[in-house]
Amino acid sequence: MKKSSTKIIALCLCALLAVSGVAATAFALNADRDEAEKPEEPETVSTADNAGVSKDETVYVLAGADGTVQKIIVSDWLRNSLGNAAVSDRSELTNVENVKGDETYTMNGDGMRVWDAQGKDIYYQGNIEKELPVDLSVSYKLDGKPISADDLVGKSGRVTIRFDYQNKQYETVELGGKQEKIYVPFAMLTGVLLDDDVFTNVEVTNGKLINDGSRAVVIGIAFPGLQENLGIAKDKLEIPDFVEITADASDFQLDMTVTLATNQVFNEFDSDSFDSGLDLSTSMQELTNAMDQLTAGAESLKSGAESLDAGAAELQAGAAQLSEGLDTLASNNDTLNGGAKQVFDTLLATANTQLAAAGLDVPTLTVENYAQVLSGVIATLDEDAVTEQARSQVTAAVEAQRGVIEQQVTAAVQEEVAAVVTAAVREEVTAQVTLAVRNMVAQQVIEAALHIDKASYDAAVSAGQIDQETQEKIEAAIDQQMQSEQILQQIQTQVEGQMATQSIQDTISVKTREQMRSEPIAETIAEQTELQIQKIVSEQMASDEVRAQIAAAGEGLQSIVALKASLDSYNTFYLGLKSYTAGVADAAAGAGTLKAGTDDLKDGTSQLSAGASELYDGVNEFYEEGIRKLVDAVDGDLNGLTTRLRATIDVSHRYKSFAGAGEDMDGQVKFIYRTDAVE
């Protein structure tokens, strides 16, 4: 992958860590809950003008192995930074429920969902049926031929797995007097784990490959729609919009894949920083000037080599004088070599002392072994190696607490199941109590109006003895009584009384235990336990202690690298001196041969001249085919490119929510696609 894409991957991974959080916990707790058990909530549209309230939204997309959407779950976090007592919210979600607390909401006259926040943040989730901003599709090939995921299971051969992303979220904006589509600039990061027992010779297009010895980790990156936003032709500069993995597979199977879609990478930029193409133009001009200097230097080298070739004849004439001088130099060879060796030994002794003081247990450095020893130390202090070692230790410590974590998750799930069961029982009890009270009220109204009991009234109605007007008045009077504060309070009191009875509490307990023994709940507990373990590992990896370990390793690495570079530099001098003195001795002994061999020297200078000419041609080719092509990709309309960048960033800033948010509510949204395993 190109260097620019590698840097973008690093930036997007940072964004991924920054936007991950509590919403993942809420999603996992409720992802597989039976939709039929959830009460339907009406769609709401509202204005939210809450001071200090923002929305963090995570959209979980459960998809088949080919990317086909099966279910969408949205988890929202209302950040109540000023501790408001009530928080208003706009949302298109159904089946809304609080996933981290007992705060409730009411619907006001404007159709607004108003949470009784009590100064706290609100975490809730719900379902939605809505087109996603980016479609993910996964296709498979076996030995170059398309094949379905199901048919690929257990097959062997050269496998291609391709992730395609189609951006559908755009705004129409005016650019250069024309209306054009500007897509929300989503960065798509796809993660895939490939078992080394199944996959070998893995290659990735638009991604990075890491192998820990037992499996390959593929991290792919794409920016669907960005090519069109910037208006750059693909034949000049191609921005990736897909990820493709190829590998040799044996008995094919594949774990689930995870893809993150986020526009937070572009939200980090301020469009005001792209006011003009001046900075971009200056950078391109500097690049062009540098290549001009390099080309000029190559031309100077070519001319110098030609001059050297011409001077070879003069060198032949001076060979006799060189012979006399070499005899003098050779007499000092032993002194020079001995002094250089003594200096080298002193440098190595100092290095050994520094390594011991740093607590590094390594063999004593010598002239012969220092490079190998220090290279080994550098390898062990590599940041990736230190990070993986720290991750293994943290993971092992967290896994040791798996039982405790599972107990905590089970308790949380049981609490939510009990709440759902209690609500259902309360609704049934309320209906029964309301019916009984209505019959009592009807008895009172009928006796007061007609001086007969309800049974007689019902019989008279059935016999057609009570006219329609009288019946309507009776029903209106009953309805009016039922809405009175006294009757409503009576119903509430009776409901609470029945809910507190032992029989009702026993019913709730039995139904809760039944739910807890169900397979969906068991799967939810297992999945949430795993997610909690992963979350704890991630949090501990981001802790100050672990980060300090990794940083310390990085500082130590730089010190060792600098030490080795210093010793390498002196070693170069030392070896050069030994070569020099050996050459002096050989030259002194063979001065006569040197004089006879000046014709060979002349041939060498001719070859040097030819080589310099080839270098000049190569630099020219690199300039014309490489640098100039890059410059041409963006040159010519730098102001236009700047305008498109600014429009892209502005569109990104305006896209804050998938399920809806108030016009004056700030927010951010990310999408997590999970495809089924192929097995």
Where do we find the tokens 């916990």? 25
Domain spans of the chain, in order of start: 1-263+655-679, 403-521
Let me know how many helices (H) and strands (E) the chain has, helices first: 21, 19
Alpha-carbon distance of 393 to 387, in angstroms, equals: 10
Instruction: Identify the pLDDT of residue 496.
Output: 93
User: Can you tell me whether residue 126 is helix, strand or coil?
Assistant: strand
DSSP β-bridge partners for residue 106: 114
DSSP β-bridge partners for residue 77: 56, 123
DSSP string, 163-229: EEEEE--EEEEEETTEEEEEE---EEEEEEEEETTTEEEEEEESEEEEE-SSEEEEEEEE-TTHHHH
Q: What backbone phi and psi angles, to 5 degrees, belong to 413?
A: -65, -45
Axis-axis angle for helices 468-482, 402-450 (nearest 10) = 140
Instruction: Identify the pLDDT of residue 171.
Output: 95
Alpha-carbon distance of 243 to 12, in angstroms, equals: 15
Alpha-carbon distance of 112 to 106, in angstroms, equals: 8
Q: In 542-636, which residue ranges form alpha helices assigned H by DSSP?
A: 544-589, 591-596, 598-622, 628-634
Tokens of 351: 């290095």
Q: What is the pLDDT of residues 61-88, one digit of tens each?
A: 999 999 999 999 999 999 999 999 998 8
Q: Please name which of 579, 583, 560, 563 lies closest in space to residue 340, comparing C-alpha atoms.
A: 579
Alpha-carbon distance of 655 to 16, in angstroms, equals: 17
Tokens of 450: 């007609």
pTM of the entire structure? 0.47
Instruction: Identify the pLDDT of residue 331.
Output: 76
The C-alpha angle with vertex 33 and arms to 29 and 36, in degrees rounded to 5, equals 150
10-residue mean pLDDT profile of the chain (679 residues): values are 38 36 32 38 41 90 95 93 90 90 85 86 93 97 96 96 97 91 94 94 93 89 93 86 96 95 85 58 56 59 60 59 64 75 82 77 86 80 73 89 91 90 92 92 90 90 92 92 92 92 92 89 90 89 80 69 77 73 71 60 56 56 53 63 87 91 84 94
User: Can you tell me whether residue 40 is helix, strand or coil?
Assistant: coil
Q: Are 222 and 242 a contacting pair, CB within 8 Å?
A: yes
Axis-axis angle for helices 402-450, 502-516 (nearest 10) = 140
Instruction: Identify the pLDDT of residue 8.
Output: 36
DSSP β-bridge partners for residue 671: 59, 261
Q: In 451-543, which residue ranges form alpha helices assigned H by DSSP?
A: 454-462, 468-482, 485-499, 502-516, 519-541
- Residue 199: how many other CB atoms lie within 10 Å: 24
Tokens of 534: 């992963």
Alpha-carbon distance of 510 to 508, in angstroms, equals: 6
Q: Are 326 and 591 a contacting pair, CB within 8 Å?
A: yes
Instruction: Identify the pLDDT of residue 296.
Output: 73
